[in-house]
Amino acid sequence: MSELKKIEGKTFLITGGASGLGAGYAQAFLENGAKSVAILDISEDAGKATAKRLNKIFPNKVLFFKCDVGNEESLTQAFNEVVDKFKTVDVIINNAGVMNDSPNMFRKCCDINYKGLVSLTFKGLEHMHKEDGGVGGTIVNISSTAAFGRFPYVPAYSGSKAGVLHFSSCLAVDPFHEVTGVRIISMCIGPTKTPIFNNMDQLSYDERSGKAMAQLLSSLNYQRPESAVSGVVEAFKQGTNGSNWFSVNDKPVKDITLAYNQAQDFLTKALNSDL
């Protein structure tokens, strides 16, 4: 496990890496010694610009691959291109996400946030699985604090992030790591100053809820992007397989695995007692 926690010499694949937190993760891991970074994003101009900027600081270490994470064909093609170029992918950061429950976007939101993440996790597992010739690795799945509470204005988004957390925890159950050599980590990030919160009144499933959400979100305390980025790096350095982490309000990242598992155990016992 100690080898998995090392950043030096590793090849990273980061979805949604053209801007925002994804670009921040790319730079932070390069600063910590990553060998190379593959950025996947639907935004070609921003992706190329970020790769160019990072390559000025870390020469010849970053490549951009255009990819719609919510489209299986596009995701498969991009992943194969990354593997063809780098041969080995050691770390996947499933960061791409959309918060938009509007009538014409909620399906895409779920496709990107959950289905795309699940698909890339499985692709990464197949590539990394030590019994299939892989060398192991780490997959970090980015969830949200919306996965815990009842946030009524974007229920599809919140549900997709709850799905990310539960999917990751289910997949990582022992003896997963022993068999595969792969470590699964979940990161729940609280409100952060990123473009995902732009045009808040248009992100809900109807106009009334959109206005209510905009009013609520305008009163929240947003953490700095740097806090979320450092939290993911720290979770990578410390996290065990199946661990869940929490980053909010510019506070140090917190391991919430015990609390999450206790809640799951409580609910399971309560259910079984009624059977």
- DSSP SS3 for 256: coil
Q: Is 157 a catalytic residue?
A: yes
Tell me the pLDDT of the chain averaged across its residues: 94
Whole-model pTM?
0.95
Report the pLDDT value the prediction gives residue 274, as an integer from 0 to 100: 63
Average of per-residue pLDDT across 218-225: 86
- Write down the catalytic residue from 157, 205, 222, 260: 157
Q: Are 225 and 21 in contact (CB under 8 A)?
A: yes
Give the pLDDT band (50/70/90) at residue 84: very high
Q: Are 226 and 247 in contact (CB under 8 A)?
A: no
In the predicted structure, residue 1 carries a pLDDT above the cut 70: no
Report the pLDDT value the prediction gives residue 211, as an integer from 0 to 100: 87
In the predicted structure, residue 40 carries a pLDDT above the cut 60: yes
Give the pLDDT band (50/70/90) at residue 275: low
In the predicted structure, residue 195 carries a pLDDT above the cut 80: no
Q: Which phi and psi (to 5°) does residue 174 adopt?
A: -55, 140
Instruction: Write the DSSP symbol of residue 128.
Output: H
CA distances, 54 to each of 59, 81, 189, 224 (Å) = 8, 20, 24, 21
| Alpha helices by DSSP H, the chain | 20-31, 44-57, 72-86, 106-110, 117-128, 155-171, 176-180, 207-218, 225-238, 257-273
Average of per-residue pLDDT across 63-80: 98
